[in-house]
Amino acid sequence: MYCKNCGNELFRGASVCTKCGAQVGAGGNFCPNCGQQTDPLAVVCVKCGYQLTGRPIPAYGTEQKSKIAAGLLGILLGSLGIHNFYLGFTNKAIAQLLITVLSCGALGVVSGIWGFVEGIMILTGSMSFDANGVPLKE
């Protein structure tokens, strides 16, 4: 179990975090299951899939993205990171795009394989959430 305020691992039966002093269960910046930093608007932890209880579903940006669209974008345009832009993983998408563009396409094969693998992972359900933690729709 991890502190939701600072991400520090908690001792079994602890009532407060020894690192930040927050009451167990207080805070909302870290996943209590894996300690990963979370987005304040996330419904589930992107790393482990843990349901982040007590989090209101945001009024905007909750529209589910299509699993099939994201998977096909990854397979067909993966070297440009289009599928990651679609899912909201902007940093990863920019990395894929820059690898392809700055190498004048020479390393596009690397980004293409990366995108192809992610496209397959999306279609098989290994990657089933967007960057906000919203599940992908079928």
pLDDT at 80: 95
- HEC string of the chain equals CECCCCCCECCCCCCECCCCCCECCCCCCECCCCCCECCCCCCECCCCCCECCCCCCCCCCCCCCEHHHHHHHHHHHHHHCHHHHHHCCHHHHHHHHHHHHHCCCCCHHHHHHHHHHHHHHHHHCCCCECCCCCECEC
CA distance 100 to 93: 11
What pTM value is reported for the model? 0.58
Average pLDDT for runs of 10 along the chain of length 138:
84 85 82 84 80 57 86 95 95 94 91 95 92 86
pLDDT at 123: 96
Residue 96: what pLDDT?
Answer: 94
* pLDDT of the residue at 55: 45
